[in-house]
């Protein structure tokens, strides 16, 4: 009866905005209309940003979240990897400090017989990005056309590239808008963003590493678990096998933070060494990848199989092959000095003896960004050489004068700022922490009891 009822079937963005504002569930058609209209440029930024804010404050139902993911996924191409015989499995992390597991997992899982078509992102904020780490390897090319990506997967079983223009263009446009309108922090929008991109890889199964703690985007375990459940359910609605591990990010993962340094640590792990926490998490994640990928009956079997592939050197060989196929210098594996190297180092010491009680993990990540190892703005370039090596982890004994970390730097003033931040982020306590935080807090998903 209202004047606007003269064309009742025409899609109007304003109606969809109002419904979400008033907490009324949107239909699949309404969500598709909005996403497609925005991607095509028919719906302006200012309407979509109002809708995004309504989503942040009103939330979404599970069917709405699935419909949004689906609409974003189908805004672009879904890779056709049906020519690959192996099951296609990927891993995605919500981002942390020192998290270089992707570089270990892709060749390791490929060596075990699953295909890993990994499309990754760059670092933003205090977290590192897989693409930045890969590009620390001289010559490594993360910008491959889809045909080349597919060929490498056939040859090597794994390939690691950046997002292409064809993959989920709606997500690129929406993410850029969310970034400037205070609408990043919504589990529903985060879920749709991650899952649309991952499902566009044409995968069969996905292992999610949802970080929680002072270095994660989701500081509380409750928020992390909520996001994990959302992503698992959304993936399952689309017929994929999805599992999520809630893992600890209350201190950096491993000892090295910074792009070239992290490649060094990846090689250490693939050689059978490396820090215990990083090694353990890699085995947990790859165990799940192999189990969901159908090459291990259980997660334990997957872990054991992977341990053998590391011990035999096959995992490292697969990494060498991938680096070479993507144009990188494979000699960095045996000659770490061929990686970009910072000009100076500086020791970080505490002014107090005791135990390393806790770390403000986000600040360690920020210290690395300050050194030039990450981006303060999207358009910034990254210095691959700089970074931090931690000599102490939470729970370790620390004495005055003993270095807790070494800073690798190319600018003295930046190094001094980073040093102060590292010192400030370490809490030294009188006694050793009573209980060690476990690395894997929970496993969420239908197959969660598979171990």
| Catalytic residue positions, numbered | 92, 171, 178, 193, 197
Nearest distance from C-beta of residue 60 to a second copy, angstroms: 14
3-state secondary structure of 356: strand
First to last CA, the chain: 60
Nearest distance from C-beta of residue 8 to a second copy, angstroms: 14
Nearest distance from C-beta of residue 330 to a second copy, angstroms: 34
Residue 4 vs 300, nearer CB to a second copy:
4
Nearest distance from C-beta of residue 234 to a second copy, angstroms: 24
| Nearest CA-CA partner of 195 in 167, 235, 164, 159 | 235
Residue 46 vs 436, nearer CB to a second copy:
46
Residue 98 vs 374, nearer CB to a second copy:
374
Burial class (CB in 10 A: 0-12, 13-18, 19+), 256: buried
Judge contact between 347 and 236, C-beta under 8 A: no
Side-chain-facing half-sphere of 282: CA atoms under 13 Å? 34
Nearest distance from C-beta of residue 54 to a second copy, angstroms: 5
Q: What is the DSSP letter of 10?
A: S
Residue 50 vs 269, nearer CB to a second copy:
50
Residue 144 vs 368, nearer CB to a second copy:
368
Please tell me the distance from the alpha carbon of residue 316 to that of residue 269, in angstroms, as a whole number. Answer: 9
User: What are the residues binding a second copy (CB under 8 A)?
Assistant: 1-4, 6, 14, 17-18, 21, 44-54, 56-58, 125-126, 177, 180-183, 363, 366, 369-370, 376, 421, 424
Q: How far is CA 242 from the centre of its chain?
A: 16
Please tell me the distance from the alpha carbon of residue 349 to that of residue 222, in angstroms, as a whole number. Answer: 35
Please tell me the distance from the alpha carbon of residue 359 to that of residue 305, in angstroms, as a whole number. Answer: 34
Residue 204 vs 362, nearer CB to a second copy:
362
Listed in order, strand segments (DSSP E) in 132-172 are: 158-162
Please tell me the distance from the alpha carbon of residue 327 to that of residue 65, in angstroms, as a whole number. Answer: 39
Phi and psi at residue 161, to the nearest 5°: -130, 175
| Nearest CA-CA partner of 391 in 437, 347, 429, 339 | 347
Number of Cβ atoms within 10 Å of the Cβ of 168: 30
Return the H-helix or E-strand segment holding 421. helix 412-425
Nearest distance from C-beta of residue 289 to a second copy, angstroms: 33
């Amino acid at each position: 009866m209202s004047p606007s009822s003269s064309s009742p079937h025409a899609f109007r963005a304003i109606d969809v905005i109002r419904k979400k504002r008033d907490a009324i569930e949107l239909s699949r058609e309404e969500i598709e209309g909005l996403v497609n209209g925005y991607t095509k440029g028919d719906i302006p930024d200012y309407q979509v940003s109002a809708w995004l804010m309504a989503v942040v404050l009103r939330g979404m139902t599970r069917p709405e979240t699935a419909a949004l993911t689906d609409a974003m996924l189908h805004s672009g191409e879904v890779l056709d990897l049906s020519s690959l015989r192996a099951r296609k499995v990927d891993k995605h992390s919500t981002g942390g400090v020192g998290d270089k597991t992707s570089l270990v997992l892709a060749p390791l899982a490929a060596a075990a017989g699953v295909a890993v078509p990994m499309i990754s992102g760059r670092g933003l904020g205090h977290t590192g990005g897989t693409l930045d780490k890969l590009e620390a390897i001289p010559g490594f090319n993360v910008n491959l056309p889809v045909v080349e990506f597919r060929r490498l997967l056939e040859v090597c079983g794994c390939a690691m590239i950046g997002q292409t223009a064809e993959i989920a263009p709606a997500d690129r446009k929406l993410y850029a808008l969310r970034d400037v309108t205070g609408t990043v922090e919504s589990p529903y929008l985060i879920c749709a963003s991650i899952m649309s991109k991952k499902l566009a890889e044409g995968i069969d199964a996905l292992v999610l590493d949802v970080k929680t703690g002072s270095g994660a985007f989701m500081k509380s375990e409750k928020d992390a678990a909520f996001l994990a459940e959302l992503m698992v359910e959304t993936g399952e609605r689309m017929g994929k096998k999805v599992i999520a591990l809630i893992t600890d990010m209350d201190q950096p993962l491993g000892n090295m933070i910074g792009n070239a340094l992290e490649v060094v640590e990846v090689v250490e792990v693939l050689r059978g060494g490396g820090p215990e926490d990083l090694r353990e998490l890699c085995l947990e994640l790859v165990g799940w990848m192999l189990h969901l990928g159908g090459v291990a009956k259980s997660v334990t079997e997957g872990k054991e199989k992977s341990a053998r592939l590391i011990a035999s050197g096959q995992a490292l060989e697969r990494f060498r092959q991938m680096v070479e196929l993507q144009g990188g210098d494979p000699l960095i594996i045996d000659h770490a000095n061929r990686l970009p190297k910072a000009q100076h180092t500086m020791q970080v010491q505490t002014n107090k003896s005791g135990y390393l009680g806790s770390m403000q993990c986000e600040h360690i990540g920020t210290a690395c960004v300050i050194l030039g190892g990450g981006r303060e703005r999207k358009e910034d370039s990254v210095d691959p050489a700089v970074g931090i090596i931690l000599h102490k982890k939470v729970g370790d004994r620390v004495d005055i004068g003993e270095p807790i970390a070494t800073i690798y730097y190319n600018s003295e003033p930046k190094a001094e700022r980073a040093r102060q931040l590292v010192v400030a982020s370490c809490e030294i306590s009188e006694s050793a922490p009573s209980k060690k935080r476990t690395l894997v807090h929970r496993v969420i998903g239908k197959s969660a009891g598979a171990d």
